[in-house]
Copies of this chain bind each other. A is one copy, B any other.
Amino acid sequence: MLSQKTRYTIRALQHLADRWREGPVRLDAIASEQNIPRKFLTVILSEMVREGLVISHRGRDGGYELGLAPVDIRYGDIIRLTRGSLALVPCASRNAHEHCNNCLPEADCRLRGLMLTLRDETAAMLDRVSLADPIALEAAFVVEGEQG
């Protein structure tokens, strides 16, 4: 699961992407329109500023705007920044690799082999979609009763 913080981050960035090149957007506007706790959002946006995805302007008429064009911010980037990894196990991460606890040697671990493949497919999908893309609000192929 994505953490609440990651979800807030994505929604905040989407909000800014929708207002790209319209000047700084105030924190309070983002918080109220996106239904994100104000104080928590300050923490989130400050991190995004440090990462360079967002630019802030202080003082009167200040606020936030994206530091890159929406098309250059891919969902994969955001999740990697906030969650550290797209992988489902630490040992299958490509940029934040660590060994799992109480595991077998990595070379013998079949779970790892599977998770590496899965990570790559997930990354490929998330890196195809950017903040500039419209996203179908409902997946077109929802099948009633399917598992998941």
**Which residues of A are in contact with B by a Cβ distance under 8 Å?**
1-2, 4, 7-8, 10-11, 14, 34-37, 75-76, 80, 85-90, 93-96, 100-104, 107-123, 125-126, 129, 135-139, 141-142, 146-148
Pair A110/B14 contact, Cβ less than 8 Å: yes
Which listed residue (B118, B138, B148) contacts A125, Cβ 8 A? B118
The quantity of this chain's copies bound in the complex is: 2
Pair A110/B135 contact, Cβ less than 8 Å: yes
Pair B121/A125 contact, Cβ less than 8 Å: yes
Contacts of A146 in B (CB 8 A): 94-95
Contacts of A102 in B (CB 8 A): 4, 8, 35-37
Which listed residue (B10, B76, B122) contacts A111, Cβ 8 A? B10
Pair B148/A111 contact, Cβ less than 8 Å: no
| Candidate in A75, A80, A90, A111 with the most chain B CB atoms within 10 angstroms | A111
Measured in the bound complex, the distance between the Cα atoms of B88 and A85 in whole Å is: 13
